Each structure stands twice: as C-alpha cells, then as structure tokens.
A and B are shown apart, each in its own frame.
Chain A
Amino acid sequence: MSLPQEGSLNTSADSTRLQALIEGSHRLSSVTATICGIAERPRPPKAWYIAFTISVALTGVLLLVVAYLFWEGVGVWGVGIPVAWGWAITNFVWWIGIGHAGTLISAILFLCRQRWRNSVNRFAEAMTIFAVMCAGIFPAIHVGRPWVEYWLAPYPNQMSLWPQFRSPLLWDAFAVSTYFTVSLMFWYVGMVPDLASLRDRARGRVRQILYGILALGWRGSNRHWHVYERAYLLLAGLATPLVLSVHSVVSFDFAVANVRGWHSTIFPPYFVAGAIFSGLAMVLTLLVPARQFFGLKDFVTPRHLDAVAKLLLATGLIVGFAYAIELFHGWYCGDPYEGFVFLYRARGDYAWAYWVMTICNVVVPQVFWIKWCRTNPWALFAVGVLVNVGMWFERFVIVVASLSADYLPSSWGYYSPTWVDILTFAGTLGFFFACFLLFCRYLPMLAMAEIKPLLPEERQVAGNASAAVPFPYPIPQGEGKTGETPLVWILPSSLPRADGGAGVPAAREAGATSKPVIAGLLAEFATPQALLKAAAAVRDAGFTKWDVHSPFVVHGADKAMGMRPTRLAWFVFAAGVTGAVTGLALQWYTNAFDYPYLVSGKPYLSIPACIPVVFELTILFSALAAVLGMLGLNKLPQLYHALFKRPRFRRASDDRFFVSLEAADPKFDQSKAEMLLRAQGALAVETVED
C-alpha cells in the first residue's frame, strides 16, 4: 500500500525514478506469476531442502535441550551469581533487536513514503515475526520455574496476588507481547490481498481451501481497499511508536537496574538504534541469498540493497556514537564504579568480546561509504553477518560483562556458557530459519499488491498477451460456463447452487434445478484508467450498490466512486483511550487498591512507573480496533460471494479491473446497465448469478 497521493495515480514525474525499483519488463500478470510462482512450484530448489532439513534438525535440538532444561533446572546453563543472566537474555535481546527491522520497514518507512520498502517489507515483517518468536522463547525458558510463568499475567486468582507493575520485566512482557500481536496483524493484514492472488491461482483443493480461508474472502473491492488502506495507515502509525517503545522497554530491563554499565539514560535510543541496525543486518543476511535463490532480482534490485545498506550505515553510526558516549560518560561522570565498568569492558576479562563488538558494529559498516560495497551482494551479505555477530556480542558485553564485575569485588565472577547454552541458541537459529523457509515456500514473499502500483503506467495493462507467464486457468472470453472449476471454496450448504460443476458435493445438486437468480453484472476492464472512467460513469448514472475491483489500490477510485471517508479512525481513537484507561486502572487497582504491598519504599501508585504498560495497552487496543474495525466495516471474512463464481473474476487479484453492479440496486436494469458498461469500453460484461 502506498499513501494516497492526490491525483498522482503513479503517473507523476517521478515515475522514471521509480522505474529503478523494478527491473525487467514486468507487467501486472508477470509480477503475480513470478511471486506466486514461488509458492506454486511443485518442488522448491534442492538448496531449500538442505537448509530446511538442517533447520528442522536444529529445531529438534532446541526442543530436546529445552526439555532437558525443564527437567533439570536452569543450572544446566552457565549462569550463576553474579552473572545470573547469561546467554538466554543476550539471545533474547539479540532476537528482539532483529525483530525490529521488519516493523521499521513496514511502518516507519511507510510513513516516510519510502517506496523501496514495498519490495522488502513482507520479507522483513516475516523475519520480525519469527525473530520475536525466537526472542520470546528465552524469557519463557530462562526462569527458574517456567510452569508458573503465567503469574506475570494480571489475572484474578485465589491468592489475591497481582503482578508487580514497577518491574521492567512486566513492562517487557506487555511490550513484547503487544509488539508480537501488532506485528503479526500488520503482516497478515498486509498479506491478505496477496493471499487472494494465491487463492485465485490455486489449483489443488487443499491449497484452494487454505488460501481461501487465509484470504478471508478478499475481492479487491475498492470499498474494502478504502477501509483497508486507512487501517494499514493507522497500524503503521501505531507500530511506529511501538517499534521505538519495544526496545526502549527492553533497555529498561537494564537501565532501571542499578548495575553499573546498565544504569544509563542513553539506553533507550541506543537500544532502538542498535535493534534496527541488527535487524537491517539480518534483512541483508536473508535477502541477499533469497533474491538469488528465488529469482527475485527484478524486484529486489541493487537500489533496494543500496537503501538498506545506507540505513545500516546510518544506524551503525548511531550505535558507534552511543558506544563513544558510554565511554565518555564513564570517564566524565566521576563515579569510579561507572568508570570501571567501561575500563573493564575494554581491558578486562571480557575485552575480547568488547573488541569483537566494536569492530563488527563500528568499523565494518564503514565499508558502506563505498558504493560498490552497498550494491555488491556478497559484500552486503558479509557485512550483514558480521554485524549480526557484533550485535550479539554487544548484548553479551552489556549483560555479562556488567554483571560479572559490579560493586563488591568479593562477588565478581567470570561467566562461561555450557553446551546447553550453545545448543539452545543454535536451536533458535534453526527454528527461525525453518519458519523462514516455510514462509518462502508457501506464502507470497513480496507484497504483490504493493509492487504492482510501482509499475509504470503503460505496463499496468492486463498482460493477456504475455505468453511467458500465462494465467494458470483458461479464461473463457464469452459467456461459457463449461470446464470451470468452482471458485467458491466454502459454501453454506443451505444455499441453492446454480452450477453443479465438478468438485461440488453431490448434496448440492439437489438445488441445481432451481432457477438461477441474477445477482448483478460484472464488467472487466484492462487498465486502471478505463476502470476509473467506467466508475465515474456508473457513479454519474446514480448507482449506489456497486463496486470496483482491482488487484491493487487504484488511487482516484474513491473519488470516481463518490465514497465518503471511513469512520475507522474514530473507533481506533476510542479503543486507544480505553486501552490507556484500562492500563492505568489495572495498575492502580492491583498494586495500590486491592493488594498494596511495600516495594523498595516506593509509593503504591506512581504514575511514571505506570507509563510503559499504559502505553502498550493503548497501542494494543488501538491496533486491535484498527484490524477488527477494518474487518467489521468490510464485513470480512466473507468466504462466499456471488462474484467468486465468475471465473473471469479470478483475475481481479492478478491484472484485471472490474466493475460490479448489484441487482439489488434500485437503478439496476440489466440491459441498460450492460449498455452503460460496454459503452465505457469493458472487455466483457457478464451476469452474475447467485
């Protein structure tokens, strides 16, 4: 989705500049065919099988070591006192950091109108989801008694005990779960139109049903696009502060504590920058091989890689600056304990880790000042991997080096991991890649509906002639009804069926004798321009129950259809207020009213400590309202619709544009309406029966 640009319709002057975003002579249909083709291939490349086998094996290892950990206790790791958090928390922060690039690309770059994001956002969002899943594993398994972890949830219980809302860990639980929920919704909502494409092209029954369910009955209707775009924009607006907040809250785990080396006010921005830095590095690590293996070079062009590299360089500079500021602060603050921590990092027992971190994170990204490095896939891949290593060590240095030598020298101690630590981490890498490979195999890797508008206007024409990328089904040009495969996947059995084609259960044939009901008319157009023209004509003719359908959002369609703005934003606002009030009331009720207990000599209710949870609940409620509101206003999921019965309509998610008139419209007169549509240059007009 791109922001509505008034009157631009991709014909603005920058179309030449945009051209570099998609290479090759792609038309709408070839975009669909290329991207859907990956998921439709009967067999993925051999490399996929090898990678997937390794990943699944490592996932199995993860399950085994976690089982062992649960059986024996966290003592199987190398942690002890003083380093009570070791690799687990290092890995948690690392993974959650990686999970930041997706939402950054999806949301922040979306708001910043960075159109190059459209080729990488799906990919990065998927990475986010899987990385956050991996991140979530660690806090869940690192506690001493994982079976009572649900005590972190504020649920009414017999013990009358509530969580302690001043703890950053609780904020973390709220932040990470909100982030995961919102990212997942964002990813899924963005994927719905592309799932519709997969559904429409699907051949096997299983695929038809699964993609059909996942696509929620998306028809590319402009009335849907309208609410959908607003919801997406709101989600982006909500996810932007969220992505900044999550790593800020993660940094509070450290910044709120009084361990020297943790207790620092620069942690929130420093962590966010570092998170985005590491996330972009992971994007490079995955994108470079993926575009190679899956033939996506036309869509993920050097220009994209260059943009990611520049962003990486920028965030890397922020991270380097933060390192320098930490050192400066250690020297300037005059606190010998603070100063010692940084001296210790650089010259103490963990100096090796510190220098790995500094070289990988500060020195290595500087190669991106050279253009060749920004566009050469192997250089990008190498830097991506090194930055990932460096960022892991950054978290290691923060977590372990600070703890190992804090205040009392008598308690200092060196930490070293055990084989269980190492296998657990390796296991999450396996899980991550296994998820990612499944994503590559079965879901649209790139956002087709967002790439298509980036095609130059002249190529946004239905590519019927393109023999190289044929639509998987023969589309009859006339009124022919034979040889169709039903497009309606899940039918209420009570509905009388018009056609009893192959695959429809015999039970339905009972109703086949009844007379078909004319539900409306469907007109097909070749270009968005033709669609807009037709829409304006239908609007002027005074129709009210009608719609236009397009494979991507056609700007100007709202105006052409004479639609009024959606009320979705008001729902979201109300939900946000509810979330904020809920958050505050929850904390007041649980910690100050129902069961107050004295903690660190603090007041029972103190607003500053309430802010993180209030914030997270505000975002969570709003985002849920945006998504549920969008679905509600669009009356989705709606798995049956009369239009789906038209084979022609399958191309609404590929390269064709449609106007549909409903018979229920008071102005509906079949012959007149057909005349009107044909007059607008419709390629075909056909009746839709219910």
Chain B
Amino acid sequence: MPPLNKIGPSSHRAIEPSGEVTATAGCYIARSPDHPITQSPDLPITPAFRRFVAQRFPAQLPLLDNPTTRRRFCQLMGASLALAGLNGCDWPFWPGKKLVPEVKRPEGRSPGVPVYYATAFELGGAAEGLLVKSCEGRPIKVEGNPQHPVNQGGSSAFAQALILELYDPGRSQGLIRRRNGQESGATWDEFAVFLKDLRARIGNGKGLHILSEASSSLSVRGMRACLLMALPESTMKALPEAKWHEYEPLSRDNEREGTRLIFGRPCRPVYHLEKADTIVSLDEDLLGAHPSAITHTRDFAARRNADGKMNRLIVYESAWTITGAMADSRTGKKPSEMEAFVRSAALREALAGREHSLVAAGPRLSAQAHALVHLLNSELGNRGKAVTYVADLDPKRPGHGEAMSELTSAMEKDEVDTLLILGGNPVYDAPADLEFVQKLKKVPNSIHLSLYDDETSRACTWHLPRAHTLESWGDSRAWDGTISLQQPLVEPLYGGKTPAEVLAWVLDEPLFRGYEIAQRVFKEATQPPRSDEAWKKALHEGVVAESFSPWPQAGEQSTPPERSQLSPPAAPGLELLFVPDYRVYDGRFANNGWLQEMPDPITKLTWDNAAQISPETARAQGVGHGDMVKIELEGRALEIAVFVVPGIADGTVILPLGYGRRFGGQVADGVGFNTYVLRTTKALYTASGARMTRTGATYRFATAQDHKIVSAVASSAAAARTPELARSASLSTFKANPNFAQEMIEHPPPGQRSLFSPPHEYTGNRWGMAIDLSRCTGCSVCTVACQAENNVPVVGKDEVARGRRMQWLRVDRYFHSPHPLSGGERGTTALLFQPVPCMHCEKAPCEEVCPVGATSHSNEGLNDMAYNRCVGTRYCSNNCPYKVRRFNWFNNHLKTSEAEKLMFNPDVTVRSRGVMEKCTYCVQRIVQARIAAKLAKQDIKDGDIVPACAQACPARAIVFGDLNDPKSRVAEWAASPRAYGLLEQLNTRPRTRYLARVWNDASGLASTTDVPPVRAEHGRDAHAAGGGTGA
C-alpha cells in the first residue's frame, strides 16, 4: 500500500516478519547478574567451598543444597511475565506480523488526536458518503461526509452501525471449505489452487455463474467487464462464457421498469424535495427506506419551516412508514387499492393546476403504476424541477427476480458447474418458490463471499470472508450517480477480500488488490484519464464532484400504458405487504446489536419483527396483540406474532423482512420471524388471498414503549396527555396564534419561578439544545449515533423487556388519534415523534436526591454525571420526570469481546456495573471544542460543538449551542414562538427545548378541518386565576 499523506489507512504499521524490526516495545529480557554464590551446576561443591561460604556468607549456606530460592523464584516469575508481555506483541489481527511502535511519528499524526477519513458505504446498489473517525488506528465512529451531496453530514442508522459490524466478533474469520458434510478451515492459497483447477476445467467460463448483489461500484463493474469481455487492452484471461446474475431482495425494479415504459430505457428518478410545495407519496417511503432518504429528509425538513414557505406532504400507503408519519395527510390504502388509486383520475385531477409539486411512487407499486406517475409528473411540469432522471448504470440487466429465476433454472438444468456468490444471502432471501437451496445442492462448486458464515455460506462448498466496508478499497455511486471513493480504515481484520478482489482472483490476478483496482478504474474510466492528483483529491474528499450524469431528457417516448388496464383484482382474503425493516434492512444487519436494539420507529419494537395489522383487522380476524398466528398463502405457511398498530390499512398484513435468521450470527439467530418464506417471484412485494388463523400461543414482545401497561385508564390518560407532550398544531392555528405551544400548559409565572433568591445565574457558556418536532422524522439514527459515540452497551431482548435498554437518546412515538387535520374522522391516526435526550434541567430533580452528589450541575449548566462517584441508588432515575437516566443493572461490558473493545470511544468512560448514566450533551465534544478554541485563543463559535445526535440527524432537527449567545442557532430556536419545554410546569427548567410540530393544513387533497388544541383564554386571565395546571 503506497504511503499517502493523510489519506491512507491509519492502521498501525504492520511489517512482514522478514522486515527489519528496529525495536520491540519493551519486549526484552534484561539479563540479571546471577546470585553471587550460585555456581554453575557442573562445578562440584567442594568441602573447601562449603567452608568458605560458611565463613563469609553463613546465611547463604542453605542455598548450596537447595538452589530454588525466593530470589530465583522471583527471577523466573519476572522472566515469565516478560515473556508473556512479548507474546502480546504479536498483533492478533495480522497473524505472523509484528506490531512495532511508531518510533518516528508519522507526518500529520498526533497521538490522541483523532483522524478523519472519507469513505463510502453501499447498500442495495446506492452509496452514502461517510467520514470515519479513527483514533490511534482504530475506526471508532462513522459520520456523514459533509461534502457528499447525499449526506451533507447526515447519515443513516445503518451507516452509524457499521462500526459495530466491523468489530463484530461473529464475523467470519477465515475461509471455510465444506465437502460431503465435512467442514474445514482453508487458506486463500488453497482457494487459489481451487481456482486454478477451475480455470483449467471450465476454459472459457462455461458453467461459471456469478451471482452478485446489486453494486454500483466501478471497480466491480470493471472487473466484471474484464471477466466477461475480452477487452482489447486487457491482458487478463477473460471467461466470456461465464454468466452474471444480479439479485437483491429489495429492489426498485418496478420503478426502473416504469421508466423504461415511458422513456424507452431505464433510468433513476431523482427527487428534489426542496423544490416541491406539494409532495404526494404513493406508498413511497421517501424519508425512510429510499436509497436517497437522507437527501430527501434534509430537503423535506428544510421546507417544514412554519414561518416560511411550508411544504405539504400527502401520503397514501398501506404500511406505516416514517414518511407517512411525517405526512400532513395520510390515507391508509390496501396494496390493491393503491394500484387502483394510481390508475384513477382522482389524483391527477386533484393535483391539476398545482405548481411545484412532486408525485413519487413506491417500489412496491407495479411498473405500469410507475409509468403513470412518471407521466403525471411530466404533465404537472415537475420534470426537471422536483424530479430529474439519471441514467441507469446497467440498462441491460434483467430485473432481480428474473435474474434469480434464470439462475435457478440454469441450476435446475445442471448447467451450473461453479456458482460464485458475491455478497448477498440468497439461500435466506431468494423468493421461496425458486427453492434456491435445493437447487444449490446440485451445483458442484459453490463459493460464497460474505461477511458472515451465514445460511448461504453453509449451503456452499466454499465460504470466503468478505472485507468489511471499512476495510475495503473501492468506490460506489450514490442514488443520483455521484461517485464516492471507498478507502479502508484498517487492514481487513480477518483477511477478507472485496468482491472486486475476488473477481481478480478468478481472473488469475491475485496480486491485483482493491487499491490498484479502484485507482485504475477511477483514473481510466473517464476520458481523458484522471490524474494522480485527482485521485488523491477524490480520496481526501470522499466524493468525485459532478460525477453524476443526468440523463438527457430528450428521448422521451411516451406510449402511456393503458389506463384502463387495471391490475388483477385482489383475491379475497388478507393482503400481504413485504416491507424492508428499518433496522436490519433485508436481514443483512441482523447480527448488529445496535440496530436490533434500536426500536422500530413506528412500532417501537426491538429484537423482533411481527405481522403488523390494524385494530380493525385484528378484530375482524379474531386475533389480539401478541397472539401467534399462522398466515397461509398459496400453500406456504408462516407462524408469526401479531402486532396491532392503528393506522395500517385494514385488511392488510405488513410483514417486515430480515428476521428469523438461522445462521446469521450469535446476535441474529432466532430473533423474529422469517417472512421470506411467504415471498415468491409472483408476489415479491404484495400478495393477496392470505388467510390468518390463531395458533393459540402468545408471544412476548420487547417494546421500548407501552411496556405491558394495558389498562384502559392508562391508555386514555396517555392519549389525553399526548397533545401537551409532543405539541402540535395546524399551520392556520399557528398563524392565528404563534404562541400556541407555550400556551398549551400553564407554567409558573416568571416572577414565581424560584423559591431561592437570587436564583443561580449562568454567566459563561450556557449550553442548550433545541429539537424541531416539525423536522424530526423519527428515523432514530440519533439513537444509534449516540450509542456509537458514547460507548453505550447493548442489553438484549429480555433486558429491554425489563425496561433496561441503555440508549441515552430515545425517540418517543405517540399516536395522535384522530389525526389533527382529519376533523375527527375515525380511523385516521397521525404519529408524533419526540427525541428525548437528557433535558439538562437547570433545576434538575435528579441532583437533589443523590445522596453522594454523583450528579450535579456544571457552571455551564450541564447536568453532569460522575460515574465513579455513583453508588447506584437509582433515586435520580425515579425523580427524573423524563426518565432519561439509564442504569447499569449488570456489568454490561463483561461480555464485550476483545475485538469490540477496539470500538470504544477513548474520550468516553466505559461504565461498569451499578452506576447511572445518561446523555451528557456529548460533553467530550464540548471539551474538545473548548480546548481547540483555547489553543486558537478564540471563543467557541456557534456550530463548533455538534453532539453526535445532531451530527447524524439527516433532518437537521437538532441544534446545540450557547443559549447565552443570542445569535446562536439554538438561542434563535429557543426564542421561537414554537419553543416549549417538556413538562415545564414542573419548573425543572429544561435546557433542551422542543419546537412544536406544525402540520400544513393548506387546502387540497385532504380535509382540512382544524381542531384548535389551544386554550383560548390563556394569557389573559389564566395566570390571574392561578392555581392548577389544566390543559
């Protein structure tokens, strides 16, 4: 690997054993002079010598007969210890290599100062740009690359959780060969021998099939081209007869097909939500599951400003998505109704004449529906404004379902001699009707490159460890086509290889490493070839500017599909909808504890998936929340637990994918239910005609909210309380009374707010946070970012069920029923999200009850926690009305593996058993900013301190700063009329302020009857009346 200034991987320098070792860290045994009288054993002890000793050293006389002395013992012990220390010098992650200290400090590196490297992370063929923090060679935290057009600093929860995946001790740690039921470890050299045989056997590649997951990587595509085509300039020995298949369980093929219907060739629609006043989403999770959701969320949130030009989001969907949760108007429709609705004229008429709108259709809609939506956007004049198109990278590839069908039929016909599976997990997630696993058994040689020794690996003859994203050289494209370069933060911990590297091996170019591939592809993919400088710059910034290629809009070929051609009527019975999971996606993140424990934004379920149905459906089917049911569809059956969620389309069962893993790893196995068993090529996303029957068993969920509190009195109180906790109002109410949020609750009049006079004043920095509920989509990336930043442990399902999850920042979800804009219509429900970190109350109730003063206030107003002073009475948690404090009921880090320990943020204490912990406002970042400002002899500027949650938030719903600085953003937000403090009537004086959510009730597309939640008389006589706190 060539040395790169500031942009190379920051691992400890590992050198070959043959290399010159200049010094080993303290690993030498000092020779100590022998005991003065201990003779060499071969010299006889003469009587004269004995006499001499008796005269001169009488005390030492016994030693002559018994040479094992205390001193000798100490010497031996010392030597043993030193040898044990020497053993530690063998770095376990690069066996056979020696770790040496950096005698000379590398340029640009200071011990203790973290270094950030730009890289990229690809999911389902679309990338996001990352900036990874590395401390002393250990990547410890992922952040969104601020320079990346998709991320602009934000990131997804999946990206945040990459760190845990990197250090996951459950990752595969070497090659595995499986033959005749035997399993054995293997080496890359053995694999090379196998490949050599293979090449000799298959000649031009006939019988070699490659099944790849979706990839936008130029490197992979370059290697693929070398493999499949005898490129004139290439010296590589191509295998032109080999077949390439691409399969992704969650694909956007229907959308792609829709564009082909309209434009004649497939392309990707790119949405620009900031340009749309009215956004209509048709089962499209723009803000959640879309590959560009980060961008969408940011652009959408930027227009949620109730003070300016607010956009309006109208959602028709079957499941609850976070897009639906953000909607100003949401209508639950069955999947079958959805198709019909798109084809009906209603939508077109309603939107007619509106400028600056955007209609987006979801991947589960049919290609015809997509085509209609593309047409509609053209008609409305949105094309080129709120929606643009970029060329599809691989216009000729068949759909993922088709590709899989082709492969399986080839396997059926024994045409496949060798199947190379690059990533993915088809045994687990291929459509059930293809019976992939049965057919795989007929393939003599099957090779699976994967992070985990998973279901597919166990069905293959070879398992190859895959290099993790953060260990890989490569590149990938974002949804809009922007190229990002990927660089490793560490050497592969377990000797994994990237797909491009494996292809190089197949091409008999084993020395062609990811770095060379990426660099060569990058430089040579354009004309004229890019320079070394451009490579370095791109590597440094992580993104290649202007690299996306908008598809020329000229070639529009509009033969609209027949509007009358309705999709086949739904069969009677329940409709099923397969949806990606917000935590494990398609199942690939199932072994990631952070994601498993991240509560689902809608259901707040952890460590599980479930069949989500509406209360009406539950009633109609005679099942209840937590019942086990059997869902039957076309002869296939699935036993799954029922989770009742109001707001889901009636008659529809939502089945999140990605659970019920059998060989997903220690964390993943046995969690949830495998819904892939019902998924077939015919019904990849929706199915109808399903039957649901109770099995009689019940199931225990571990939800992060509403845990086992089931009484009617509690439910009605919760419903009554919701409006004043997560405050919201319609835009017209807000315009009529901007102070609605503050007037919702009676709070102590300003003059009577403290018994103590004078109250404590904060004169320096007064840190505070503000969270805009209008912007927050509840995506929960903040939760995972906080977990990564603050070394927050994972506790597991049973502990979550006991109310012991450790996440410092939680996102509360409340049902607002009826929907505030629905006019009280039954069955319409809205969701409200409220991230709850520590409020850092100025009159913190937790502090006064701590008997040992383990939690107290800093002079900047932070509610500090001194872990090593904490005795663990938990009184502070009881007295915290926000319940943000988290207690270490056990030594949660007892089971942390050695690998995972590398992941810890060195600036944050790892808490042991029996101590309380909670959000610190990322005090370590405050301190770092203060030190930096001090060194620069400046004050801390607004924006210098960004807590992990605020940094990760794609919606930019969280701001942090100095409340004493009137120009800071947080002070501006806190001064907003929408700002309020949670439970402010308790006079806790929370530093964390919320900005009430405003719903856009502008007319059109949905009823706009407003229910003003405001006490009209407040402000005039309520204070004068004094007394209680009514709402």
Contacts and interface: CB of A to CB of B under 8 A. Distances in A.
A169 B886 CA distance: 20
B706 interface: yes
Interface centre among B804, B844, B878, B891 (most CB of A within 10 A): B878
Given A169-B850, A410-B834, 20 more contacts: A72-B890, A73-B889, A74-B872, A80-B802, A85-B874, A85-B875, A148-B871, A162-B853, A167-B851, A167-B875, A259-B878, A334-B1028, A336-B721, A340-B713, A408-B983, A410-B705, A413-B803, A599-B856, A600-B857, A602-B843
B853 A143 contact: no
A351 B878 contact: no
Contact of A344 (B717, B812, B879, B915): B717
Interface of B: 705-714, 717-718, 720-722, 725, 754, 756, 759-760, 799, 802-804, 810, 812-814, 834, 836, 841-845, 847-853, 856-859, 869-875, 877-879, 881-883, 885-891, 913-916, 982-983, 986, 989, 1027-1031
Nearest to B869: A161
Contacts of A167: 848-851, 875
Nearest to A591: B853
A168 B882 CA distance: 20
A164 B843 contact: no
B852 A152 contact: yes
22 contacts: A73-B890, A75-B890, A80-B803, A143-B871, A144-B872, A144-B874, A144-B887, A145-B871, A163-B853, A170-B851, A258-B845, A335-B1028, A336-B721, A403-B878, A405-B709, A406-B881, A406-B883, A408-B883, A409-B706, A410-B705, A413-B708, A600-B841
Interface in A599-634: 599-603, 606
A253 B874 CA distance: 12
A409 B874 contact: no
Nearest to A144: B872
A620 to B, nearest CB: 18
B711 A349 contact: yes
A407 interface: yes
Contact of B857 (A75, A152, A601): A601
Interface of A: 72-75, 78-85, 142-145, 148-149, 151-152, 159, 161-164, 166-170, 173, 253, 256-259, 333-337, 340, 343-344, 347-349, 351, 403-414, 597-603, 606
A600 B709 contact: no
A143 B873 contact: yes
A410 B714 contact: no
A601 B872 contact: no
A149 B854 CA distance: 13
Contacts of A161: 852-853, 869
Nearest to B853: A164
A152 to B, nearest CB: 5
A598 B859 contact: yes
9 smallest A-B Cβ distances: which pairs?
A: A144-B872, A144-B914, A75-B889, A80-B803, A334-B1028, A409-B718, A414-B708, A410-B812, A411-B883
Given A72-B890, A344-B717, A405-B709, A152 B871 contact: yes
B756 A603 contact: yes
Contacts of A142: 873
Contacts of B873: 142-144, 169
Contacts of B857: 597-601
B649 to A, nearest CB: 25
B856 A597 contact: yes
A344 B713 contact: yes
A80 B800 CA distance: 9
Nearest to A82: B883
A412 B841 CA distance: 21
B883 A73 contact: no
Contacts of A603: 756
A144 B915 contact: yes
B872 A81 contact: no
Interface centre among B836, B870, B879, B882 (most CB of A within 10 A): B879
Given A144-B887, A144-B915, A598-B859, A168 B714 contact: no
Interface centre among A169, A349, A599 (most CB of B within 10 A): A599
A147 B643 CA distance: 44
A560 B886 CA distance: 70
Contacts of A84: 874-875, 877-878, 887
A75 B804 contact: yes
A464 B444 CA distance: 110
A162 to B, nearest CB: 7
A601 B759 contact: yes
A169 B849 contact: yes
Given A144-B871, A411-B883, A597 B853 contact: yes
Nearest to B883: A411
A349 B718 contact: no
B722 A409 contact: yes
A151 B803 contact: no
Contacts of B843: 600-602
Contacts of B886: 81
A7 to B, nearest CB: 53
Contacts of B890: 72-73, 75
Contacts of B812: 408, 410
B983 A407 contact: yes
A173 B879 CA distance: 19
Interface centre among A173, A340, A347, A408 (most CB of B within 10 A): A408
Contacts of B872: 74, 143-145
A134 B772 CA distance: 50
A334 B1029 contact: yes
Contacts of A168: 849
Contact of A169 (B707, B804, B875, B883): B875
A145 B866 CA distance: 14
Contacts of A83: 803
A348 B913 contact: no
A194 to B, nearest CB: 39
B701 to A, nearest CB: 13
A62 B849 CA distance: 29
Nearest to B1027: A334
A351 B711 contact: yes
Given A164-B850, A334-B1028, A409 B814 contact: yes
Contacts of A343: 713, 717
B1028 A412 contact: no
A258 B879 contact: yes
A161 B810 CA distance: 33
B871 A149 contact: yes
B78 to A, nearest CB: 32
B836 to A, nearest CB: 7
A75 B799 contact: yes
A74 B853 contact: no
Given A81-B886, A144-B871, A334-B1029, A413 B845 contact: no
Contacts of B882: 407-408, 411
A425 B492 CA distance: 53
A597 B875 CA distance: 19
A404 B756 contact: no
A576 to B, nearest CB: 25
A348 B879 contact: no
Nearest to B881: A407
B851 A169 contact: yes
A74 B851 contact: no
Contact of A173 (B834, B851, B1029): B851
B707 A412 contact: yes
Nearest to A260: B881
Contact of A143 (B760, B878, B914, B1028): B914
B986 A258 contact: yes
A538 to B, nearest CB: 58
A333 B849 contact: no
Contacts of A335: 1028-1029
A397 to B, nearest CB: 14
A413 B707 contact: yes
Given A143-B871, A407-B983, A152 B889 contact: no
Given A144-B871, A412-B718, A163 B879 contact: no
A473 B916 CA distance: 65
